[in-house]
Structure 1
Amino acid sequence: MASHLVFTVIAQDRPGLVDRLATAIADAGGNWVESSMARLGGEFAGIVSIDIDEAAISSLHEKFDLLLQDGIAITLRSDANRPAAPSGKAAHLDLVSQDHPGILRQITRVLRERNVSIEHLETEVVAGSMSGESLFKASADLRLPDGLDPSALGDALHATAADMMADINLIE
């Protein structure tokens, strides 16, 4: 019987990390399904979803233990069944603001209050092209709950953005 596993991985960034991880999964008989990985602050971090036969999970643990000995930390979460596809409308959010503490908190509070799920989020702080001031940029793929009007969400986000002098674009 196939199991669905999700795990995180973090290690000091160096060439070959993804290959070592992919080899461990393949050698245990697992199938790499989806992932999101990035270099952040000199560290390599990722989340990976695989399918693997239940009988092969102990072999996968052994292979992951070998990676751990080499400084590759893996946190495994098991779920026997693949989750159902999410319902609700998809939307995309882009935000740009002068950098200051609390930007993400203000935006995610608006999303939480409306039961909006963040499916993918990327943030960064960059130098502004003209002024050189630090700019906070966020890009998120969202899943709106059934019944939430995207324009109502947009209005709430724009009200918050105006308070922090940020530019927000919500695209359905």
Structure 2
Amino acid sequence: MTDDDSSQNDSLLDLGANRGDPLSDINEHDQDLASMSAEGKKALALEKVRRAVRKHGEDGISVTEIMEVTGLTRKTVSSHLDRLRNLREIYRQKKGKQMFLYYPNGKPLHGVGREYIECSDGETGIEIQLAKGKNDDLYFHVTEKRFSLLEGETSEGAIIFPMEDLDKVFKGLNSLSEEVDQDHVHN
């Protein structure tokens, strides 16, 4: 198998990991900080944190490690990690009593199985992974993926739920589907 063949099954996160330091190009702009607006500085800091987690977070990365990589303060890093978690671009897991490790969304920590469903629009897919979590409990990690020629494959959002709740999830989906179908019939 050639390198070209193996890249067809890689996610964007995997492909980006081989492109050199993703922070090098963004750190080049640090000398221009004095002329940047507050919003520009905030956006640059967010991008630094995002890239640090994508590059170094496959095995988990702590706030302290992100501070070292980006040169940002703990308060700034923590603030942007919260924002990225709210956007579901990253997730965290507790390690020990007080430390959290951050991971890029789209790759569960201990995957044991994977399925990809291509949607009928030809641009959207759903990646379903089964992964081990705390106490070796199994979780479904469902990620919406989109593909465009301009951006390639991107993760749009994800949910994680325990495997034991699968029946509840399907019942909820079926119930919602029936409700929507009935509403469309009456309208």
Where on the TM-score scale, by shorter chain, does this alignment land: which range?
Answer: under 0.3
Higher helix share: 2
Higher strand share: 1
TM-score (norm 2): 0.26
Q: Which has the higher contact order (CA 8 A, sep 6+)?
A: 1
